[in-house]
Amino acid sequence: MRVSALWRYPVKSMAGESADNLDLDRQRPRGDRLWALHDVERDVTVTARRLPGVLLCSARYASQPTIDSGPGNVPPVIITLPDGAEVPSGDPGVHAVLSSALDHDVRLVALPADPKAHRMSWRERVAAARGLTTDLGIRADEQLPKLSDMDPRALLTLTRNATPPGSFVDLCPVHLVTESSLATVGRESDCEVPDARRFRPNILVADAPEGLPEAEWAGSTVALGDSARLHIVMKTVRCVVPSRQHDGLPLEKGLTRAVATVGGRYLGAYADIARTGRITVGDPIRVTGPREPGRLGKAAATARTATLDTLNRLAELPRRGRHPVG
């Protein structure tokens, strides 16, 4: 396998920058998601799930981020609006310009140094839980994604925070997608192979086995090039964002349903950075599976799966009560 494309996203949910190489620093790909929009009314970080117009904007850095870029030290960006106009982050009118373009009161904010800034209010936690099925594009007669396919640490983080403390990512600092998975979605749904940019990966992987190979990588170590290493946390649960209109990409209504049919609402893989390093388009990729757990580890995993599957069934009950199936 090899790296076929790389991206970083200066502003959360906006179109990003393609790159020939990408530095994986300790906490994130250098320069990735150091800015976001803040919803003034709801007092929460904006996502394209709730404000899809953000996807029609793009962002680039005015100068290359340095190794010390991060919370509390964020380099300026230049934002391109849907009509082609540009506004720099340092412009005093940037908030008004973005609010007008998105028809919503927002503020452009840099990644804060205080990790408590990511904590959601109870009101927002309840709203996020109630809006889950809408965000994921789940109809009343369809099942929720299996919680047992998700990482418990990630689930706990997202019950308390709009984004993980110290970052503006949804879950993990690195997101991978294979060309094989995109081809599978296109082939199995009888539609064109979807553009990788719809899924907003940092790394696009070529020459992977057919099917949905990254769906089997949880717990694995991924070596990229000579030095960089990733730890795969879990496969990526997909919301409705890939199907929406993006900067340069039209609406693709059937994509959410295709991913649900082919991958059970999962496509791609989330990863933590295990070893820093620079990766370059064309670099080889090697995946090493996790060590086989012992007897106690297997028993704990079985108990965890049973518990989460029970929670899944309990979460389905009120939905099925309102919308009988069959």
pLDDT in tens, 125-159: 555 555 555 555 555 555 666 666 666 666 666 55
Q: Per-residue pLDDT averaged across 110-116, rounded?
A: 77
Q: Let me know the angle formed at the C-alpha of 171 by 167 and 172, rounded to the nearest 5 degrees.
A: 75
Q: Which residue has the higher pLDDT, 218 or 189?
A: 218
Q: Is residue 61 part of a domain?
A: no
325 — pLDDT class (breaks 50, 70, 90): very low
- Model confidence over 257-308: pLDDT tens digits? 899 889 988 999 999 999 999 999 999 999 998 876 667 766 656 666 665 5
Q: Is residue 281 part of a domain?
A: yes
CATH number, domain containing residue 11: 2.40.33.20
Asked if the model's pLDDT at residue 34 lies above 90, the reply is yes
Q: Is residue 81 part of a domain?
A: no
The predicted model scores a pTM of 0.82
Domain that includes residue 262, residue range: 2-30+119-319
Q: Is residue 312 part of a domain?
A: yes
Q: Quote the number of domains for the chain.
A: 1
Q: Is residue 238 part of a domain?
A: yes
Per-residue pLDDT, 98: 97
Q: Is residue 111 part of a domain?
A: no
Q: Per-residue pLDDT averaged across 188-208, rounded?
A: 90
Q: Is residue 105 part of a domain?
A: no
Q: Is residue 89 part of a domain?
A: no
